[in-house]
Structure formats: structure tokens, C-alpha cells
């Protein structure tokens, strides 16, 4: 078997949630860190910027401008930076990611008095329980080796009433759009990603990881099972991405799911 075939087989196993997923994800994101921001914007035709703004709006930071927030699977700290620059913000954003080169690649863009990069795994956060006003994860939750544990960890670190926002890729339901999307995702995106990043499998892993990630209704259900209330989701750009939101229950308050 050729080396490229072995790499692709490893990418497929990792995307499917195989035992090697954690090590593989950490390795590839560390390797593509220098070109990560550029590729995000090129491959999404800059639509990712608008998606992030919509997701950040759902965090409702205006409810507590002095609070501490978490950017989970923070990558190059794009979301952490945007939250920290919201009008009137006086709090702190913790940018947590287990691929430290990603955090290093984004360190120059943030105001360090408002953003604290932390090398940490989403399934075991070094953060005290109940201390965060909100948490958000943008295009990272599907890469976690242990989705349900990560959801429970997000719930644990939130204060009662704190919001959790997930922005993640999905697959369009309309047949014609779905066909075009899958062609781009499976053929064009890996080619461009490979040429720009120089990495053989990182952008082969991406479409496969999306295909193996729970559909919107299932992710909403798993948020509820983890303990979140008021769970809601909405599609973006005809189903190419979706935003899910939920809150940590407030003791004594009746919540409907």
C-alpha cells in the first residue's frame, strides 16, 4: 500500500471516530496552523466570517459584558478575538485548544489582556465548575474524540443560565444543492486545501468528518441528554452549516426542552 493510501485510510478512520482520532486531529491541525485562517476564508468564499458573527450574536454577551467566556476548540483564536472586541466588553475570553501551534498562530491577533490562550482538551477542561458566563465552539466540536463528554464539560464550566453555542458544518437536505455541495466538498475542497496547505490528508479528513458528524436533530438531542435546556438549532446558507444553542439550567426555574 502506498504512503498516500495509508494516510487516507488513517484520515477515514479518524473521521469515523476511530481510536486514532485524537492523535490524528492534533497532528494535522498543528501542521496546517500557519495557513489555517487563509484556507478557511478561501474555501468558504468568506462566508465563514458571516457565520461566526451570527454564532457570536447567539452567545448574548451583552447580558454580562464583564463575564468570562470560553472559545472551545479555539484554533487560531478568531472567535475569541471577535468576542473580546464586542462593544462594551470588559471581561475575559479563554481560548482553549489542544493543538498548541494553532493557538500560537493566532496569538498575534488578540488583545492579551482580554484573551487567554490555554492548551487544553475539550473533554477535560482545566476550568472550575460554574464560573463561565458563556461558551462557544466554531467548527471544532466534530473534531473532538468524545463528543458527549465534551458537551458535559461545556455544561460543567458554565454558570447557571450560561449559554453554549455550537457553529458547525452540516449537509444540505435539498437534493440538487446537496449534490453540488458534496461534489465541492469531496473533490474541489480537498484539492485546493492540499495545494495551499501542502498537507496530503487534512482536507480529505474535513468532508469525511462532516459526513460522520450527527445531523442537526441528533446533535440537539445529545445537548439535551448532556443536560442543556432551551436547546434550539437553525440552518445557515441553505443547510451548509448550523447553529445550536442551549443553556445550563437555573436551579428552581422550570425549563422546557
Residue 248 has what DSSP assignment? P
Domains and CATH numbers, the chain: 3-247 (3.40.50.150)
- DSSP summary character for residue 98: S
Identify the band that residue 1 occupies on the pLDDT scale cut at 50, 70 and 90.
Answer: very low
Q: Report the percent of the chain where pLDDT is more than 90.
A: 72
Q: Rounded CA gap, 201 and 189, in Å?
A: 11
Residue-level pLDDT at 198: 83
Whether the model pTM is above 0.85: yes
The pLDDT of 90-102, averaged and rounded, is: 97
Condensed to tens digits (0 to 9), the pLDDT of residues 191-229 reads: 888 888 888 788 888 888 998 999 999 999 999 999 999
Measure Cα distances from 91 to 95, 96, 109, 219 in Å: 13, 16, 17, 29
Amino acid at each position: 500500500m502506498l504512503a498516500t493510501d495509508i494516510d487516507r485510510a488513517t484520515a477515514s478512520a479518524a473521521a469515523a471516530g476511530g481510536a486514532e482520532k485524537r492523535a490524528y486531529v492534533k497532528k494535522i491541525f498543528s501542521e496546517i496552523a500557519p495557513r489555517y485562517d487563509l484556507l478557511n476564508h478561501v474555501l468558504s468564499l468568506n462566508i465563514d466570517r458571516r457565520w461566526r458573527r451570527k454564532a457570536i450574536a447567539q452567545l448574548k454577551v451583552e447580558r454580562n459584558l464583564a463575564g468570562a467566556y470560553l472559545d472551545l476548540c479555539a484554533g487560531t483564536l478568531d472567535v475569541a478575538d471577535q468576542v473580546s472586541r464586542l462593544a462594551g466588553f470588559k471581561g475575559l475570553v479563554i481560548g482553549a485548544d489542544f493543538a498548541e501551534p494553532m493557538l500560537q498562530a493566532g496569538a498575534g491577533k488578540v488583545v492579551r489582556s482580554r484573551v487567554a490562550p490555554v492548551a487544553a482538551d475539550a473533554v477535560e477542561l482545566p476550568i472550575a465548575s460554574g464560573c463561565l458566563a458563556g461558551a462557544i465552539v466554531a467548527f471544532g466540536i466534530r473534531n473532538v474524540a468524545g463528543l458527549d463528554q465534551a458537551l458535559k464539560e461545556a455544561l460543567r464550566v458554565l454558570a447557571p443560565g450560561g449559554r453554549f453555542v455550537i457553529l458547525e458544518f452540516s449537509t444540505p437536505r435539498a437534493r440538487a444543492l446537496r449534490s453540488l455541495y458534496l461534489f465541492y466538498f469531496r473533490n474541489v475542497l480537498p484539492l485546493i486545501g492540499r495545494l495551499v496547505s501542502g498537507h496530503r490528508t487534512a482536507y480529505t479528513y474535513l468532508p469525511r468528518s462532516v459526513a460522520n458528524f450527527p445531523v442537526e436533530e441528533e446533535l440537539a438531542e445529545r445537548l439535551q441528554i448532556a443536560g442543556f435546556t432551551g436547546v434550539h438549532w437553525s440552518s445557515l446558507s441553505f443547510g451548509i452549516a448550523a447553529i445550536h444553542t442551549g443553556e445550563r439550567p437555573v436551579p428552581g426555574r422550570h425549563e422546557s426542552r
